Amino acid sequence: MGFVSEPIEVAVIGAQGRMGRAVVEAVSGAQDLHLADALDVGVELSSLEGRGIQVAVTSLCPQRPKRMSTR
């Protein structure tokens, strides 16, 4: 892999959840990534516009799965 001179700007959406916290930790610990923002549920994605964010990672589930029958 090539050398990245400047870190990649990353936003994490759903950062307060279990998986979101893990993604924030991973991004924060990577030398070639910069955590530009950590958003929670309900925040408008338009708030990311014009901020130079190159990657947005989401760990949100659009709909909780229904409980499966045990029959």
Task: Locate the domains of the chain by residue range.
Answer: 8-58
**Which CATH architecture describes the domain 8-58?**
3-Layer(aba) Sandwich (3.40)
Q: What is the pLDDT of residues 6-53, one digit of tens each?
A: 999 999 999 998 899 999 999 999 999 999 999 987 788 888 899 999
Q: pTM here?
A: 0.76
pLDDT band at 60 (very low <50, low <70, confident <90, very high): confident
Residue 4 CB-half CA count within 13 A: 10
DSSP state of 20: H
pLDDT: which is higher, 4 or 24: 24
Output the pLDDT for position 57. 92
Give me Rg for the CA atoms of the chain: 15
Asked whether the predicted pLDDT for residue 71 surpasses 70, the reply is: no
